[in-house]
Amino acid sequence: MTSNPTRRGVLGAGLAAGAAALTGRGAKAQAADPAITNLQPWNQALGDGVDARPYGSPSPHEAHVKRRNVEWLTADPVSSVNFTPLHELDGVITPNGLCFERHHAGIAEVDPARHRLMINGLVDTPLVFTMQDIMRFPRENRMYFLECAANSGMEWRGSQLNGCQFTHGMIHNVLYTGVPLRYLLEEAGVKTNGKWVMPEGADASAMTRSIPIEKAMDDCLVAFKMNGEALRPEQGYPVRLVVPGWEGNMWVKWLRRLEVGDQPWHHREETSKYTDLLEDGSARRFTWVMDAKSVITNPSPQAPITHGRGHTVITGVAWSGRGSIPRVDVTIDGGKTWHQARMSGPSAEKSLHRFYYEFDWDGGPLLLQSRAHDSTGYVQPTKDQLRAFRGENSIYHNNGIQTWYVNEQGVAENVEVS
Ligand code: MTE
Ligand code: CO
Protein backbone atom coordinates (compact mmCIF):
# COMPACT_ATOMS: atom_id res chain seq x y z
CA MET A 1 0.00 0.00 0.00
CA THR A 2 1.39 3.41 -0.89
CA SER A 3 -1.43 5.25 0.86
CA ASN A 4 -0.70 6.56 4.28
CA PRO A 5 -3.86 6.88 6.33
CA THR A 6 -1.87 7.11 9.58
CA ARG A 7 -0.28 10.46 8.65
CA ARG A 8 -2.91 12.58 10.31
CA GLY A 9 -2.21 16.28 10.45
CA VAL A 10 -4.77 17.65 12.89
CA LEU A 11 -6.59 20.43 11.08
CA GLY A 12 -6.73 23.65 13.07
CA ALA A 13 -4.46 22.55 15.90
CA GLY A 14 -1.45 22.28 13.63
CA LEU A 15 -1.94 25.39 11.51
CA ALA A 16 1.50 26.92 12.06
CA ALA A 17 3.60 24.06 13.33
CA GLY A 18 2.35 21.42 10.96
CA ALA A 19 2.33 23.43 7.74
CA ALA A 20 4.55 20.99 5.87
CA ALA A 21 2.54 17.97 6.88
CA LEU A 22 -0.71 19.72 6.00
CA THR A 23 0.01 21.00 2.51
CA GLY A 24 -1.06 17.70 1.04
CA ARG A 25 -4.56 18.14 2.43
CA GLY A 26 -4.87 21.75 1.36
CA ALA A 27 -5.34 23.36 4.78
CA LYS A 28 -3.87 26.88 4.79
CA ALA A 29 -2.32 28.96 7.61
CA GLN A 30 -4.65 31.82 6.72
CA ALA A 31 -6.00 34.16 9.37
CA ALA A 32 -7.97 36.63 7.21
CA ASP A 33 -10.46 34.15 5.77
CA PRO A 34 -13.84 35.96 5.64
CA ALA A 35 -15.56 32.65 6.36
CA ILE A 36 -13.94 32.97 9.80
CA THR A 37 -13.78 36.73 10.35
CA ASN A 38 -17.25 37.72 9.07
CA LEU A 39 -20.57 37.01 10.73
CA GLN A 40 -22.75 34.75 8.60
CA PRO A 41 -26.56 35.00 8.29
CA TRP A 42 -26.98 31.76 10.26
CA ASN A 43 -25.01 33.28 13.16
CA GLN A 44 -27.38 36.21 13.51
CA ALA A 45 -30.99 35.05 13.43
CA LEU A 46 -33.04 32.34 15.05
CA GLY A 47 -33.72 29.35 12.85
CA ASP A 48 -36.83 27.27 12.21
CA GLY A 49 -38.43 25.59 15.20
CA VAL A 50 -39.11 21.90 15.61
CA ASP A 51 -42.57 22.20 14.10
CA ALA A 52 -41.35 23.61 10.76
CA ARG A 53 -40.14 20.34 9.22
CA PRO A 54 -42.22 17.39 10.40
CA TYR A 55 -40.68 15.23 7.69
CA GLY A 56 -37.17 16.45 7.03
CA SER A 57 -35.45 16.92 3.70
CA PRO A 58 -31.84 17.65 2.69
CA SER A 59 -30.22 21.09 2.83
CA PRO A 60 -31.03 23.31 -0.19
CA HIS A 61 -27.27 23.23 -0.86
CA GLU A 62 -27.68 19.54 -1.71
CA ALA A 63 -30.36 20.16 -4.36
CA HIS A 64 -28.09 18.80 -7.10
CA VAL A 65 -28.04 15.41 -5.36
CA LYS A 66 -30.84 13.64 -7.15
CA ARG A 67 -31.88 10.76 -9.33
CA ARG A 68 -31.45 11.57 -13.01
CA ASN A 69 -32.62 9.89 -16.18
CA VAL A 70 -31.10 9.77 -19.66
CA GLU A 71 -33.78 11.08 -21.95
CA TRP A 72 -32.75 9.29 -25.14
CA LEU A 73 -32.53 5.90 -23.41
CA THR A 74 -36.25 5.12 -23.45
CA ALA A 75 -39.20 6.31 -25.50
CA ASP A 76 -41.08 7.78 -22.52
CA PRO A 77 -40.52 8.35 -18.78
CA VAL A 78 -43.27 5.92 -17.68
CA SER A 79 -41.62 2.70 -18.86
CA SER A 80 -38.16 3.92 -18.01
CA VAL A 81 -35.36 4.16 -15.49
CA ASN A 82 -33.54 6.79 -13.48
CA PHE A 83 -30.18 6.46 -11.76
CA THR A 84 -28.83 6.61 -8.21
CA PRO A 85 -26.29 9.49 -7.78
CA LEU A 86 -23.51 7.17 -6.57
CA HIS A 87 -20.88 9.94 -6.81
CA GLU A 88 -22.74 11.98 -4.15
CA LEU A 89 -23.08 9.18 -1.60
CA ASP A 90 -20.78 7.58 0.94
CA GLY A 91 -21.02 4.60 3.25
CA VAL A 92 -23.13 1.71 2.02
CA ILE A 93 -26.80 2.65 2.52
CA THR A 94 -28.75 4.33 -0.28
CA PRO A 95 -31.11 6.98 1.13
CA ASN A 96 -34.70 6.12 0.28
CA GLY A 97 -35.32 9.20 -1.86
CA LEU A 98 -32.27 8.47 -4.02
CA CYS A 99 -32.87 4.79 -4.85
CA PHE A 100 -32.97 4.44 -8.65
CA GLU A 101 -36.36 3.57 -10.10
CA ARG A 102 -37.22 1.14 -12.85
CA HIS A 103 -40.86 0.85 -13.84
CA HIS A 104 -42.55 -0.80 -16.77
CA ALA A 105 -45.86 1.00 -16.26
CA GLY A 106 -45.07 3.88 -13.94
CA ILE A 107 -45.49 4.10 -10.16
CA ALA A 108 -48.54 2.31 -8.76
CA GLU A 109 -50.13 4.33 -5.94
CA VAL A 110 -51.51 1.51 -3.81
CA ASP A 111 -53.86 1.88 -0.85
CA PRO A 112 -52.47 -0.60 1.70
CA ALA A 113 -55.93 -1.17 3.22
CA ARG A 114 -57.15 -2.46 -0.15
CA HIS A 115 -53.99 -4.36 -1.05
CA ARG A 116 -53.98 -8.18 -0.91
CA LEU A 117 -51.29 -10.80 -1.43
CA MET A 118 -52.63 -14.09 -2.77
CA ILE A 119 -50.84 -17.45 -2.87
CA ASN A 120 -52.30 -19.96 -5.33
CA GLY A 121 -51.32 -22.80 -7.67
CA LEU A 122 -49.68 -25.97 -6.39
CA VAL A 123 -50.41 -25.36 -2.69
CA ASP A 124 -52.53 -27.27 -0.16
CA THR A 125 -54.51 -24.15 0.82
CA PRO A 126 -54.69 -21.07 -1.42
CA LEU A 127 -54.43 -18.03 0.87
CA VAL A 128 -55.12 -14.30 0.74
CA PHE A 129 -53.14 -12.03 3.09
CA THR A 130 -53.91 -8.46 4.08
CA MET A 131 -50.97 -6.23 5.02
CA GLN A 132 -51.93 -6.79 8.64
CA ASP A 133 -51.79 -10.57 8.15
CA ILE A 134 -48.29 -10.33 6.66
CA MET A 135 -47.07 -8.26 9.58
CA ARG A 136 -48.11 -10.93 12.11
CA PHE A 137 -45.37 -13.27 10.87
CA PRO A 138 -41.89 -13.07 12.43
CA ARG A 139 -39.83 -10.53 10.53
CA GLU A 140 -36.16 -10.12 9.75
CA ASN A 141 -33.85 -7.20 8.97
CA ARG A 142 -31.35 -7.70 6.18
CA MET A 143 -29.31 -5.39 3.97
CA TYR A 144 -29.12 -6.15 0.25
CA PHE A 145 -28.21 -4.50 -3.01
CA LEU A 146 -30.66 -4.51 -5.89
CA GLU A 147 -28.98 -4.21 -9.28
CA CYS A 148 -30.91 -4.08 -12.55
CA ALA A 149 -29.50 -6.63 -15.01
CA ALA A 150 -29.26 -3.72 -17.49
CA ASN A 151 -26.87 -1.75 -15.25
CA SER A 152 -23.81 -0.79 -17.37
CA GLY A 153 -25.66 -2.25 -20.36
CA MET A 154 -24.92 0.81 -22.50
CA GLU A 155 -21.19 0.19 -22.04
CA TRP A 156 -20.85 -3.19 -23.79
CA ARG A 157 -19.43 -1.85 -27.03
CA GLY A 158 -17.32 0.90 -25.55
CA SER A 159 -17.46 3.72 -23.04
CA GLN A 160 -20.56 5.80 -23.52
CA LEU A 161 -22.17 7.57 -20.58
CA ASN A 162 -20.13 10.17 -18.73
CA GLY A 163 -20.73 9.55 -15.05
CA CYS A 164 -20.91 6.64 -12.64
CA GLN A 165 -24.50 7.70 -11.92
CA PHE A 166 -25.33 6.65 -15.50
CA THR A 167 -22.88 3.79 -16.02
CA HIS A 168 -23.47 2.13 -12.62
CA GLY A 169 -26.44 3.87 -10.97
CA MET A 170 -29.05 1.15 -11.53
CA ILE A 171 -28.23 -0.13 -8.06
CA HIS A 172 -29.35 0.64 -4.54
CA ASN A 173 -28.54 -0.86 -1.16
CA VAL A 174 -31.21 -0.94 1.50
CA LEU A 175 -31.87 -2.44 4.92
CA TYR A 176 -35.13 -4.31 4.44
CA THR A 177 -37.60 -5.39 7.08
CA GLY A 178 -39.75 -8.24 5.88
CA VAL A 179 -41.13 -11.72 6.38
CA PRO A 180 -39.16 -14.62 4.90
CA LEU A 181 -41.08 -15.78 1.81
CA ARG A 182 -40.66 -19.32 3.12
CA TYR A 183 -43.00 -18.61 6.06
CA LEU A 184 -45.84 -17.53 3.75
CA LEU A 185 -45.31 -20.47 1.38
CA GLU A 186 -45.22 -22.91 4.30
CA GLU A 187 -48.46 -21.42 5.61
CA ALA A 188 -50.09 -22.31 2.26
CA GLY A 189 -48.24 -25.64 2.04
CA VAL A 190 -46.29 -26.15 -1.20
CA LYS A 191 -47.18 -29.44 -2.93
CA THR A 192 -44.31 -31.81 -3.74
CA ASN A 193 -44.50 -30.98 -7.46
CA GLY A 194 -44.34 -27.22 -6.71
CA LYS A 195 -40.94 -26.31 -8.15
CA TRP A 196 -41.36 -22.68 -9.25
CA VAL A 197 -42.87 -19.53 -7.79
CA MET A 198 -44.25 -16.73 -9.93
CA PRO A 199 -44.52 -13.35 -8.19
CA GLU A 200 -46.89 -10.83 -9.80
CA GLY A 201 -47.08 -7.07 -9.31
CA ALA A 202 -50.20 -4.95 -8.83
CA ASP A 203 -49.06 -2.19 -11.22
CA ALA A 204 -50.48 -1.87 -14.74
CA SER A 205 -47.61 -3.97 -16.12
CA ALA A 206 -48.62 -6.90 -13.86
CA MET A 207 -45.00 -7.95 -13.99
CA THR A 208 -44.19 -11.62 -13.44
CA ARG A 209 -41.03 -13.71 -13.22
CA SER A 210 -40.29 -17.38 -12.45
CA ILE A 211 -38.22 -18.12 -9.36
CA PRO A 212 -37.01 -21.65 -8.49
CA ILE A 213 -38.56 -22.94 -5.26
CA GLU A 214 -35.08 -23.47 -3.73
CA LYS A 215 -34.37 -19.74 -3.95
CA ALA A 216 -37.87 -18.83 -2.72
CA MET A 217 -37.35 -21.06 0.34
CA ASP A 218 -33.81 -19.82 0.93
CA ASP A 219 -33.36 -16.07 1.53
CA CYS A 220 -36.20 -14.20 -0.24
CA LEU A 221 -38.14 -11.65 1.80
CA VAL A 222 -41.61 -10.19 1.45
CA ALA A 223 -40.53 -6.71 2.54
CA PHE A 224 -42.57 -3.73 3.72
CA LYS A 225 -39.93 -1.45 5.24
CA MET A 226 -36.79 0.08 3.72
CA ASN A 227 -34.14 1.68 5.92
CA GLY A 228 -36.63 1.62 8.78
CA GLU A 229 -39.61 3.35 7.17
CA ALA A 230 -42.38 2.18 4.87
CA LEU A 231 -41.32 1.33 1.31
CA ARG A 232 -41.55 4.33 -0.98
CA PRO A 233 -44.26 4.12 -3.69
CA GLU A 234 -41.41 4.07 -6.24
CA GLN A 235 -39.99 0.95 -4.58
CA GLY A 236 -43.26 -1.00 -4.39
CA TYR A 237 -45.28 0.30 -1.44
CA PRO A 238 -46.78 -1.38 0.47
CA VAL A 239 -44.91 -4.65 -0.23
CA ARG A 240 -42.22 -5.96 -2.57
CA LEU A 241 -40.31 -9.15 -3.12
CA VAL A 242 -36.60 -9.16 -2.20
CA VAL A 243 -34.53 -11.73 -4.11
CA PRO A 244 -31.02 -11.30 -2.64
CA GLY A 245 -28.10 -11.28 -5.09
CA TRP A 246 -30.33 -11.91 -8.11
CA GLU A 247 -31.16 -9.49 -10.90
CA GLY A 248 -33.47 -6.60 -9.99
CA ASN A 249 -36.14 -7.61 -12.45
CA MET A 250 -37.17 -10.50 -10.18
CA TRP A 251 -37.76 -8.21 -7.18
CA VAL A 252 -41.43 -7.68 -8.02
CA LYS A 253 -42.86 -4.45 -6.58
CA TRP A 254 -46.44 -3.90 -5.37
CA LEU A 255 -46.48 -7.70 -4.86
CA ARG A 256 -50.04 -9.04 -5.12
CA ARG A 257 -49.74 -12.71 -6.04
CA LEU A 258 -47.45 -15.71 -5.72
CA GLU A 259 -48.34 -18.66 -7.89
CA VAL A 260 -46.65 -22.00 -7.34
CA GLY A 261 -46.11 -24.17 -10.44
CA ASP A 262 -44.17 -27.21 -11.64
CA GLN A 263 -42.23 -25.44 -14.42
CA PRO A 264 -41.06 -21.93 -15.30
CA TRP A 265 -43.56 -19.65 -17.02
CA HIS A 266 -42.77 -17.85 -20.25
CA HIS A 267 -42.54 -14.16 -19.49
CA ARG A 268 -42.57 -11.40 -22.04
CA GLU A 269 -39.97 -9.57 -19.97
CA GLU A 270 -37.30 -12.18 -19.66
CA THR A 271 -37.52 -13.74 -23.12
CA SER A 272 -37.43 -10.42 -24.92
CA LYS A 273 -35.10 -8.51 -22.69
CA TYR A 274 -33.62 -10.23 -19.67
CA THR A 275 -31.79 -12.84 -21.68
CA ASP A 276 -28.07 -12.68 -22.40
CA LEU A 277 -27.00 -12.88 -26.01
CA LEU A 278 -23.81 -14.85 -26.53
CA GLU A 279 -21.12 -14.42 -29.18
CA ASP A 280 -22.59 -17.09 -31.47
CA GLY A 281 -26.01 -15.38 -31.46
CA SER A 282 -27.59 -17.90 -29.11
CA ALA A 283 -29.26 -16.74 -25.93
CA ARG A 284 -28.78 -17.65 -22.32
CA ARG A 285 -32.25 -17.68 -20.83
CA PHE A 286 -31.56 -17.86 -17.13
CA THR A 287 -28.87 -15.62 -15.68
CA TRP A 288 -30.07 -14.76 -12.25
CA VAL A 289 -27.09 -14.04 -10.03
CA MET A 290 -25.32 -10.69 -10.26
CA ASP A 291 -21.57 -11.34 -10.39
CA ALA A 292 -18.99 -9.33 -8.43
CA LYS A 293 -18.57 -5.76 -9.62
CA SER A 294 -17.15 -2.45 -8.42
CA VAL A 295 -16.82 1.15 -9.50
CA ILE A 296 -14.85 4.18 -8.33
CA THR A 297 -17.44 6.80 -7.47
CA ASN A 298 -14.97 9.63 -6.64
CA PRO A 299 -13.30 10.98 -8.60
CA SER A 300 -15.51 10.29 -11.62
CA PRO A 301 -16.88 12.36 -14.52
CA GLN A 302 -19.52 14.11 -12.39
CA ALA A 303 -17.11 14.47 -9.46
CA PRO A 304 -13.77 15.85 -10.70
CA ILE A 305 -10.75 16.53 -8.47
CA THR A 306 -11.09 20.22 -7.62
CA HIS A 307 -8.47 20.58 -4.87
CA GLY A 308 -5.34 20.27 -7.00
CA ARG A 309 -2.38 18.02 -6.39
CA GLY A 310 -1.52 16.46 -3.05
CA HIS A 311 -3.53 14.30 -0.73
CA THR A 312 -6.42 12.73 -2.61
CA VAL A 313 -9.13 10.30 -1.53
CA ILE A 314 -10.37 7.72 -4.02
CA THR A 315 -13.54 5.89 -3.01
CA GLY A 316 -16.05 3.52 -4.51
CA VAL A 317 -18.44 0.64 -3.99
CA ALA A 318 -18.24 -3.10 -4.65
CA TRP A 319 -20.77 -5.92 -4.44
CA SER A 320 -21.41 -9.55 -5.33
CA GLY A 321 -24.59 -11.59 -5.64
CA ARG A 322 -22.64 -14.62 -4.45
CA GLY A 323 -21.37 -13.36 -1.11
CA SER A 324 -19.36 -10.56 0.46
CA ILE A 325 -16.38 -8.53 -0.78
CA PRO A 326 -13.26 -9.18 1.31
CA ARG A 327 -11.00 -7.21 -1.05
CA VAL A 328 -10.92 -4.51 -3.70
CA ASP A 329 -7.81 -3.46 -5.67
CA VAL A 330 -7.33 0.03 -7.07
CA THR A 331 -4.95 1.20 -9.80
CA ILE A 332 -4.18 4.79 -10.76
CA ASP A 333 -2.06 3.87 -13.81
CA GLY A 334 -4.47 1.79 -15.88
CA GLY A 335 -3.55 -1.54 -14.30
CA LYS A 336 0.26 -1.44 -14.30
CA THR A 337 0.31 -1.44 -10.50
CA TRP A 338 -2.52 -2.42 -8.19
CA HIS A 339 -2.96 -1.39 -4.56
CA GLN A 340 -5.20 -3.08 -2.05
CA ALA A 341 -7.94 -0.66 -1.05
CA ARG A 342 -9.08 -0.08 2.53
CA MET A 343 -12.57 -1.44 3.24
CA SER A 344 -14.71 0.51 5.71
CA GLY A 345 -18.25 -0.14 6.89
CA PRO A 346 -20.38 -3.26 7.26
CA SER A 347 -19.47 -6.29 5.17
CA ALA A 348 -22.73 -8.14 4.57
CA GLU A 349 -23.47 -10.84 2.01
CA LYS A 350 -25.10 -9.59 -1.19
CA SER A 351 -24.74 -6.01 -0.04
CA LEU A 352 -22.71 -2.96 -1.06
CA HIS A 353 -19.22 -2.55 0.39
CA ARG A 354 -17.32 0.74 0.62
CA PHE A 355 -13.62 1.04 -0.24
CA TYR A 356 -11.06 3.85 -0.03
CA TYR A 357 -7.59 4.43 -1.44
CA GLU A 358 -5.69 7.53 -0.30
CA PHE A 359 -2.67 8.75 -2.25
CA ASP A 360 -0.62 11.84 -3.06
CA TRP A 361 -1.59 13.05 -6.50
CA ASP A 362 1.41 14.46 -8.43
CA GLY A 363 -0.92 16.36 -10.77
CA GLY A 364 -0.29 14.06 -13.73
CA PRO A 365 -2.95 12.18 -15.72
CA LEU A 366 -4.51 9.13 -14.04
CA LEU A 367 -6.22 5.99 -15.28
CA LEU A 368 -8.38 4.85 -12.39
CA GLN A 369 -9.83 1.37 -12.05
CA SER A 370 -11.15 -0.83 -9.26
CA ARG A 371 -11.30 -4.63 -9.20
CA ALA A 372 -13.51 -6.54 -6.75
CA HIS A 373 -12.74 -9.96 -5.27
CA ASP A 374 -15.72 -11.76 -3.74
CA SER A 375 -15.86 -14.32 -0.95
CA THR A 376 -16.03 -17.21 -3.43
CA GLY A 377 -12.61 -16.20 -4.84
CA TYR A 378 -14.11 -14.79 -8.07
CA VAL A 379 -12.30 -11.72 -9.42
CA GLN A 380 -14.09 -9.00 -11.41
CA PRO A 381 -13.10 -9.37 -15.11
CA THR A 382 -11.95 -6.69 -17.54
CA LYS A 383 -14.43 -5.67 -20.24
CA ASP A 384 -12.26 -7.45 -22.83
CA GLN A 385 -12.30 -10.66 -20.81
CA LEU A 386 -16.11 -10.43 -20.62
CA ARG A 387 -16.48 -9.79 -24.34
CA ALA A 388 -14.24 -12.77 -25.12
CA PHE A 389 -16.93 -15.17 -23.95
CA ARG A 390 -20.09 -13.06 -24.10
CA GLY A 391 -19.51 -11.15 -27.34
CA GLU A 392 -20.41 -7.52 -27.96
CA ASN A 393 -24.14 -8.01 -28.55
CA SER A 394 -25.09 -8.34 -24.91
CA ILE A 395 -26.96 -5.75 -22.92
CA TYR A 396 -27.30 -7.47 -19.58
CA HIS A 397 -24.92 -8.51 -16.81
CA ASN A 398 -21.96 -6.28 -17.68
CA ASN A 399 -19.71 -6.47 -14.62
CA GLY A 400 -16.48 -5.47 -16.37
CA ILE A 401 -13.86 -3.20 -14.82
CA GLN A 402 -14.61 0.52 -15.33
CA THR A 403 -11.88 3.05 -16.23
CA TRP A 404 -11.90 6.81 -15.57
CA TYR A 405 -9.25 8.98 -17.20
CA VAL A 406 -8.37 12.01 -15.04
CA ASN A 407 -6.45 14.85 -16.73
CA GLU A 408 -4.06 17.41 -15.18
CA GLN A 409 -7.01 19.66 -14.33
CA GLY A 410 -8.65 16.84 -12.38
CA VAL A 411 -11.45 16.41 -14.94
CA ALA A 412 -12.55 12.79 -15.26
CA GLU A 413 -13.86 11.01 -18.32
CA ASN A 414 -15.28 7.57 -19.13
CA VAL A 415 -12.71 5.69 -21.24
CA GLU A 416 -11.54 2.17 -21.97
CA VAL A 417 -8.01 0.89 -21.90
CA SER A 418 -6.93 -2.49 -23.21
N1 MTE B 1 -42.04 -4.83 -10.31
C2 MTE B 1 -43.16 -4.36 -10.90
N3 MTE B 1 -44.35 -4.71 -10.38
N4 MTE B 1 -43.10 -3.56 -12.00
C5 MTE B 1 -41.90 -3.22 -12.57
O6 MTE B 1 -41.87 -2.49 -13.56
N7 MTE B 1 -39.43 -3.47 -12.48
C8 MTE B 1 -38.40 -4.44 -12.14
C9 MTE B 1 -38.41 -4.77 -10.64
N10 MTE B 1 -39.73 -5.00 -10.16
C11 MTE B 1 -40.69 -3.71 -11.97
C12 MTE B 1 -40.82 -4.51 -10.81
C13 MTE B 1 -37.04 -4.07 -12.53
S14 MTE B 1 -36.58 -4.32 -14.14
C15 MTE B 1 -36.12 -3.67 -11.60
S16 MTE B 1 -34.51 -3.40 -12.03
C17 MTE B 1 -36.50 -3.42 -10.19
O18 MTE B 1 -37.87 -3.66 -9.95
C19 MTE B 1 -36.20 -1.98 -9.85
O20 MTE B 1 -36.52 -1.72 -8.51
P21 MTE B 1 -36.53 -0.23 -7.98
O22 MTE B 1 -37.48 0.58 -8.80
O23 MTE B 1 -36.83 -0.31 -6.54
O24 MTE B 1 -35.12 0.30 -8.20
CO1 CO C 1 -34.35 -4.07 -14.15
Residues contacting ligand 1 via CB (< 6 Å): 99-104, 146, 148, 172, 201, 203, 205, 207, 234-235, 248-249, 251-254
Measured CA to CA, the distance from residue 303 to residue 249 in angstroms comes to 29
Tell me the pLDDT tens digit for each residue of 228-272: 999 999 999 999 999 999 999 999 999 999 999 999 988 765 544
Do 346 and 143 touch, CB atoms closer than 8 A? Answer: yes
* pLDDT reported for residue 257: 98
How much of the chain, in percent, has pLDDT values that exceed 70? 89
Tell me the pLDDT tens digit for each residue of 267-313: 765 544 556 666 666 665 567 999 999 999 999 999 999 999 999 99
Q: Is the model's pLDDT at 3 over the cut of 60?
A: no
pTM of the entire predicted model: 0.91
Tell me the pLDDT tens digit for each residue of 41-86: 999 999 999 999 999 999 999 999 999 999 888 888 888 999 999 9
Cα 270 to ligand 1 centre (Å): 13
Write out the residue limits of the CATH 2.60.40.650 domain(s) in the chain: 293-415
Measured CA to CA, the distance from residue 339 to residue 360 in angstroms comes to 14
* pLDDT reported for residue 286: 66
Q: Is the peptide bond before 244 cis (omega within 30 degrees of 0)?
A: no
Measured CA to CA, the distance from residue 238 to residue 248 in angstroms comes to 18
Write out the residue limits of the CATH 3.90.420.10 domain(s) in the chain: 68-285
Tell me the pLDDT tens digit for each residue of 134-170: 999 999 999 999 999 999 999 988 899 999 999 999 9
Three-state SS for 133-178 is HHCCCCCEEEEEEEECCCCCHHHCCCCCCCCHHHHHCCEEEEEEEE
Cα 150 to ligand 2 centre (Å): 6
198, amino acid identity: M
How much of the chain, in percent, has pLDDT values that exceed 90? 78
* pLDDT reported for residue 390: 84
Cα 165 to ligand 1 centre (Å): 18
The CATH number of the structural domain formed by 68-285 is 3.90.420.10
Q: Which fold has domain 293-415?
A: Immunoglobulin-like (2.60.40)
Q: Is the model's pLDDT at 381 over the cut of 80?
A: yes
